[in-house]
Chains A and B, each alone.
Chain A
Amino acid sequence: MTSPVSPAQPPGAHLPDHPDFLWDNPEPKASYDVVIVGGGGHGLATAYYLAKVHGITNVAVLEKGWLAGGNMARNTTIIRSNYLWDESSGIYEHSLKLWEGLEEDLGYPVLFDQRGVLNLAHSLQDVRDSVRRVNANRLNGIDAEWLDPEGVKEVCPIVNISQDVRYPVMGATFQPRAGIAKHDYVAWGYARAAHAMGVDLIQNCEVTGIETAGDRVTAVETTRGRIAAGRVALCAAGHSSVLAGMVGLRLPIASHPLQALVSELLEPVHPTVVMSNAVHVYVSQAHKGELVMGAGIDSYNGYGQRGSFHIIEQQMSAALELFPIFSRAHLLRTWAGIVDVSPDASPIVGLTPVEGLYLNCGWGTGGFKATPGVGDCFAHTIAHDKPHRFNEPFTLERFTTGALVDEHGAAAVAH
């Protein structure tokens, strides 16, 4: 499948060929044990672990567009587990460990590349917060180091560590086991493996209603007819509020556009992932050679999958100060995904007041890295009608009890 790289080959020539055929496009059956709403990474991973770990294969994944065409196709593919709080460390590190064995598990290349992630500090307070996070990570068994500016330069020589800029680099946290993966391949790998175990992947099938009897979910109405369901699992990211509203459930979620962009293909210049919370840009170089850059969310609620130009301007000015050598790079394309931001910047994963209806949302700007971990934990939650220990803290109830997992500003990136 792969071919060796030679200098004569263009960037990306070493990548595996696109697969011809990975799954069927079945007609929906009249009923399933579990219906998963949302055919992105989280939905596909959940279906995979339901079948593989729990033996539940009478499962449909419903996708209103095409598989993995929403946020899964729009993210910046960064994977890390350097979160501050124990609850977050638990689920993200669980996920990172699954990433480390995912190619073998799926029997499919996902190009997980542990090239490390630098989170830059630009002020004394940034430095203190960062060192605190490094210590917290280490106490949780997560690899983390504090680097001074020269250490940053050693890991990523193109970072400008001059102190004569507006927001000088004062150091960085470094997680060597972090990295990137190829998002499409991740989705296809899960889809292929889930399909092989009997899961129906149904595209162009939008959920328009959710039926309940008493307190229990019974079916979903879709643009391709009614589908009875023993259990319904929501994995629809930005549209979770709309779906939950179908059963009268209000969520503490705001949907925002989150933009990203890529440059033209360049020679390999950027060996790691660099994130900066204070000036807000995050940059890596894709396997093929594009510089992939993410920004912060647009401030307003939106479902339109496009954002504001001034966000890109701020992101570019930050990128150029950090990486002066990018000044001649051409922008190839920009896009936006719709992210579901919760008040404490942590996900909501678990049971709902409606029996048999399960919720997975609120991952905000960081859902991609959680794909294997949440798939595993959410499948457990659905199969046992009880949260897995790693998603137990992330209940909807925490907004009433006050047991928040406040990762705003703590998770190494602003939301």
Chain B
Amino acid sequence: MQLIPCPWCGPREEAEFHYGGQAHVAYPEDPAALTDREWAQYVFFRDNPSGPFAERWSHSAGCRRWFNAVRDTRTHDLLSVYRIGEPVPAPSESEEVNS
């Protein structure tokens, strides 16, 4: 079982967490101005990289707070975790915190 380092609680078992998909998907600034195609992109289309992926997790059986993580989808290695509102750490700054 994967250990996921919650930024508040430290490493906890994966079963305590809930997955939230891609991080940093902003709600449209001017929703009324969006075309159908743009709405489709916002609602249905997500990045699906084979490699580092910025995604959301919730420590739902612990502190119940959301946070972001960069995880390599090929190896499941968590390259960094960071709090909501913080920018995605640059790849060079990403330290492997769990493998």
Contact with B along A251-277 (1 / 0, CB 8 A): 111110000000000000000000000
Q: Is the interface of A mostly helix, strand, loop or mixed?
A: loop
Give the size category of A's interface with B. Answer: 20 to 34
Q: How far is the CB of B1 from chain A (nearest CB, A)?
A: 5
What are the residues of chain B within 8 A of A250 when measuring CB–CB? 41, 45, 47
Contact call A255/B73, Cβ cutoff below 8 A: yes
What are the residues of chain A within 8 A of B46 when measuring CB–CB? 252, 254
A304 within 8 A of B: yes
Contact call A252/B55, Cβ cutoff below 8 A: no
Contact call B74/A304, Cβ cutoff below 8 A: yes
The CA of A241 and the CA of B22, in the complex, are separated in Å by: 15
Nearest B residue (CB) for A400: B40
A303 within 8 A of B: yes
Q: How far is the CB of B36 from chain A (nearest CB, A)?
A: 5
Nearest A residue (CB) for B18: A299
B96 within 8 A of A: no
B94 within 8 A of A: no
A335 within 8 A of B: no
A230 within 8 A of B: no
Q: How far is the CB of B63 from chain A (nearest CB, A)?
A: 19
Q: How far is the CB of A139 from chain B (nearest CB, A)?
A: 29
What are 8 A-B pairs with beta-carbon distances under 8 A?
A251-B48, A300-B19, A301-B53, A301-B55, A304-B76, A308-B2, A343-B43, A399-B40
B binding-site residues for A, Cβ under 8 Å: 1-2, 13-15, 18-19, 21, 36-37, 39-41, 43-50, 53, 55, 71, 73-76
Ranked 9 nearest A-B pairs via Cβ: A241-B48, A299-B19, A252-B44, A400-B40, A310-B15, A399-B44, A303-B50, A343-B44, A300-B19
